[in-house]
Structure 1
Amino acid sequence: MRKIITTIAIIAALITGSRAQDKITANQGFWVIENNINLPKVQTVKFYDARNRLMYEETVYTKLNIKKKKILVALNQILDKLNERTAYIESRNLVTLSLNLKH
């Protein structure tokens, strides 16, 4: 009986402690950060639309920690702006400017 209660407690703790990826709406799109093992401080941020077409791509020369809420919010705001746009994007430094990164 003690083993069953312990097992149930462990499973309950694991379920409540896990976090899934936020739900993506069908018309929003998504972003991806790509990096290279040989160049850890060089990352490429790519933004895709709902049809999996590349909308915008930028290379940043710093390590982006996506566990920080500030980074997540900034990337999601850029994605929203890209979805709202109707014309070509003039600035090629959206991520760098929004996160105040060095070039």
Structure 2
Amino acid sequence: MDSLVPLSFEPIDLDAHAKVCVRFALDLHILGFGSTEGFHEADGKGSERHIAHPCTRAASWPGCLVHVWQGGRINADPVPPEWRPPLRQNPCRLGLR
């Protein structure tokens, strides 16, 4: 996406974008832990648990949850690659907890 298109921060519409929120959470879980296994847990209800938390938070603190929008779409990657620090090994994955 063109980096000259301005970014905006809009409250998350959980009814419309719950799947996007779960996808972002899964991506973060993979980055942090190497898989989605712990996210889903044995009961397979990780998605439901993940959405329940922001619903509670949004109800008690309206406007606290936002998505970054650019060009009329949720921007899944607002940080340009050249601005990111190099990835490091997660110490949990190395057994250094």
**TM-score normalised by structure 2 residue count:** 0.24
Q: Which has the higher strand share?
A: 1
TM-score (ref. length: structure 1): 0.23
Q: Report which of the two structures shows the higher radius of gyration computed on alpha carbons.
A: 1
Q: Point out the structure with the larger helix share.
A: 2
